[in-house]
Chain A
Amino acid sequence: MEQAELRRYLALIYQLFRRDLTERYQGTVLGFAWLLVQPLFMLGLYTLIFSEVLQVRFNAQASNTHFALYVFTGLLAFNACAEVLTRSTTLITERRDWLLNTALPSWILPMIPVIVSVVLEGLALCVLLTALLVTGQLQVLGLVFYLPFLLIRILFSLAAAYSLAVLGVFLRDLRQLMPAFLTVLLFISPLLYPLELIPTDLRPLYDWNPLAQLVEAYRAALLQGVFEAERFGALLLVSTSALVAAAWLFQSLMPRARYVL
């Protein structure tokens, strides 16, 4: 791709991203402040529920804020994925007009919710890091170890976005299914409980759930300052293959999708 062409695509992506964010907070009192208010509120709520009301602790030594941060870290990955999954199914149908009447390349569209999800995750991460710093639990290398898994998260999100975006054109029911699917995903991933609590005969189920893997890896990196190289390798392989498959699906189905838009 020529440099000029790349710059044009970047400009287009930037404009679409801008509008996406503007649209989301248009007419709200807080505006872009919502980006920060939401994670702050969630963290406050978790701390209140888990640390004060339920007083959940893994062991006697753990601080009482630990469990709230534990849940929050897991939700970092989950919320970002949920954002992409909810948006993707209607991505193409909502932009029907642009696709048919302008030279907008369709492959740009699925990138937008993924970029938005990275921004949302980044802000939530800032909240998390601040909280860790304040409670004295900040792992210095945690951020460095987290970044490779963020990459994995992005690869998975892109794979989901591309396949759901194009499938959503044909299967309009997907959109209705998504909230239910997300609830299931919330419970089959170790978000509100540690993986160790799962009976060993059910473990394979979790081993094959990439989100569960990601959640565990996020926690290991950010909360314990541990880089899980083996998990990274496996996830990289799976996520890259998923993205290649999704790209192929998108490319093969998109010409057909135009007929039914």
Chain B
Amino acid sequence: MNTAIRLVKAGVCYRRYAKPRDALFEWVLGQVRHQVFHALQEISFELAQGSSLGIIGDNGAGKSTLLRLLAGNLAPSSGQCQVHGRRSALLELGTGLHGDYSGLENARLGLALRGLDNAAIEAQLPKVLAFAELGDFIKQPVKTYSSGMVVRLVFAVAAVVEPEILIVDEALSVGDQYFQKKSLDHLRASLAQGASLVFCSHNLYQVRELCEQALWLEQGKLKLLGESQAVVDAYQDAVRARQAPPMSTPKTSIEPSLASFPSLQVVSLRGAQEQAGFLPMFITWQRFVVEVRAASAGWRLEDIHIGLVIRRNDEIQCYGISTLHDQVPLQAQADGSIQARFVIEKLPLLSGEYCLEVWLIDSSGLHIYDARERCCPFRVQQSTQAQGIGLSWIPHQWEVEAN
């Protein structure tokens, strides 16, 4: 396997000057007038041709600097940075674009900056336009574009050059759902065709899905490098630990071993028919109960809610609801734990395999304390075809006109 990227103790340090002219005087007079800021220190890793690397870390951890280094916009101040193969970078949104020029002109220049000659530029332009799907807007100045349109243009330019190494920053997250999917599909297709990918995102889910390996940067240093699932988990743990309220005085007897964050403890189904070797089974219109037990970790109960989604095995969300939306206040047990049951008296689901997603969310519905995805798989069996076909029984009636 060939190496696409090899970094050996690569470091980048910036010099900070009080005024621009100090940098000149320093050179002329030979006296130091700067402070050194280490953006990256001693980063070493290798990326094999055709594999993918996610870069995660907090803001200011050096992610952008690392990407610039890999993109060749920046030379390492120490160590080595070797990149083999044609690369194309999609850095922070909108950089390298000129607002007064039309999308078309920007596309031309973008292609030239990526090392295409004039003939190749004109040959690739139609592909860029087709990919970006900007219609007549392509002739308008880029300053009139929305951020979603900018990302379409930039991604289209970066994508058509068919690089051997694609370097993608954050940018994707601003596109609309349709284009996000299109660009992610494109990245996946490039990977399948043997290109290498370096992908930096705060969307850890995307990193996990798209990248084999991940690299966690912390304050300019490599904190962890490894299989992406493991690195993302470790990073998420660290973020959660940091976000925990400082010195949350345990009011009641909460187990000290628990993270100081609300967490799910037990999610279980009640009332299913159990049979060895088969999934727990419910009959349509039967009573369906999910029992959830969670630790409040000393948090205000008003700020904890349980959300639940029933998902079929083809990923269709059948139904999802939460105590937040149903406006059901949670109660704490003596030991600080929360216990709640989600009850459907007459389960309307039709035959199929389903599973649950259970979420512990805050009162804004945005923050997720804890989640169980694809847990408690179960089967639903219709008692009769007469209950209909499809996903769920829907209350209905027929009205037949009589003479």
Count A-side interface residues using an 8 Å CB cutoff: 32
| Stretch among B68-76, B250-258, B287-295, B315-323 lining the A interface | B68-76
The answer for the CA separation of A12 and B21 in the assembled complex, in Å, is 30
1/0 per position for A13-27, CB-CB distance to B under 8 A? Answer: 011101100110010
Q: Are A11 and B121 neighbours in the complex by a CB distance under 8 Å?
A: yes
Q: Are A19 and B24 neighbours in the complex by a CB distance under 8 Å?
A: no
Q: Are B27 and A11 neighbours in the complex by a CB distance under 8 Å?
A: no
Q: Are A101 and B92 neighbours in the complex by a CB distance under 8 Å?
A: yes
Instruction: Confirm or deny: B116 has a beta carbon within 8 angstroms of a beta carbon on chain A.
Output: yes
CB contacts (< 8 Å) of A8 on chain B: these are 112, 115-117
Known: A8-B116, A11-B121, A19-B98. A259 touches B73 (CB 8 A): no
Q: Chain B contact residues (Cβ within 8 angstroms of A): what range? A: 35 or more
Q: Are B95 and A7 neighbours in the complex by a CB distance under 8 Å?
A: no
1/0 per position for A92-111, CB-CB distance to B under 8 A? Answer: 00000110111110000000
Determine which of B17, B73, B98 lies in contact with A103 in the assembled complex, contact meaning CB atoms within 8 Å. B73
1/0 per position for A144-176, CB-CB distance to B under 8 A? Answer: 000000000000000000000001011110000
Q: Are B117 and A10 neighbours in the complex by a CB distance under 8 Å?
A: yes
Instruction: Confirm or deny: A241 has a beta carbon within 8 angstroms of a beta carbon on chain B.
Output: no
Closest B residue, CB atoms, query A7: B117
Closest-CB distance, A19 to chain B (whole angstroms): 6
Closest-CB distance, B161 to chain A (whole angstroms): 12
Known: A8-B115, A8-B117, A11-B112. A101 touches B20 (CB 8 A): no
Q: Are A101 and B116 neighbours in the complex by a CB distance under 8 Å?
A: no
1/0 per position for B252-274, CB-CB distance to A under 8 A? Answer: 00000000000000000000000
**Interface of chain A, main secondary structure:** helix
Known: A23-B100, A101-B96, A259-B16. A15 touches B27 (CB 8 A): no
The answer for the CA separation of A70 and B235 in the assembled complex, in Å, is 75
Closest-CB distance, A11 to chain B (whole angstroms): 4
Known: A15-B108, A15-B109, A15-B112. A259 touches B96 (CB 8 A): no
**Contact residues of B with A, CB < 8 Å?**
14-17, 20-24, 26-27, 34, 68, 71-73, 89, 91-92, 95-96, 98, 100-101, 105, 108-109, 112-118, 120-121
Instruction: Confirm or deny: A253 has a beta carbon within 8 angstroms of a beta carbon on chain B.
Output: yes
Q: Are A12 and B113 neighbours in the complex by a CB distance under 8 Å?
A: yes
Closest A residue, CB atoms, query B102: A22
Chain A residues 65-110 with CB under 8 Å of chain B are 97-98, 100-104
Determine which of A15, A172, A252, A259 lies in contact with B15 in the assembled complex, contact meaning CB atoms within 8 Å. A259
Residue among A7, A15, A23 facing the most chain B CB atoms (10 A cut-off) = A15
CB contacts (< 8 Å) of B115 on chain A: these are 8, 103
Closest A residue, CB atoms, query B92: A101
Q: Are A97 and B95 neighbours in the complex by a CB distance under 8 Å?
A: yes
Closest-CB distance, A208 to chain B (whole angstroms): 24
Closest-CB distance, B343 to chain A (whole angstroms): 56
Q: Are A97 and B100 neighbours in the complex by a CB distance under 8 Å?
A: no
Q: Are A260 and B23 neighbours in the complex by a CB distance under 8 Å?
A: yes
Q: Are B109 and A103 neighbours in the complex by a CB distance under 8 Å?
A: no
CB contacts (< 8 Å) of B105 on chain A: these are 18-19, 22
Q: Are B116 and A103 neighbours in the complex by a CB distance under 8 Å?
A: no
Q: Are A101 and B91 neighbours in the complex by a CB distance under 8 Å?
A: yes
18 other contacts beyond A14-B118, A172-B21, A260-B17, with CB at 8 A cut-off?
Answer: A7-B118, A11-B120, A19-B101, A23-B100, A98-B113, A100-B68, A101-B92, A102-B73, A103-B72, A103-B73, A170-B20, A170-B24, A171-B21, A256-B15, A256-B24, A257-B23, A259-B14, A259-B34
CB contacts (< 8 Å) of A4 on chain B: these are 117
The answer for the CA separation of A18 and B102 in the assembled complex, in Å, is 13
1/0 per position for A243-261, CB-CB distance to B under 8 A? Answer: 0000000001100110110
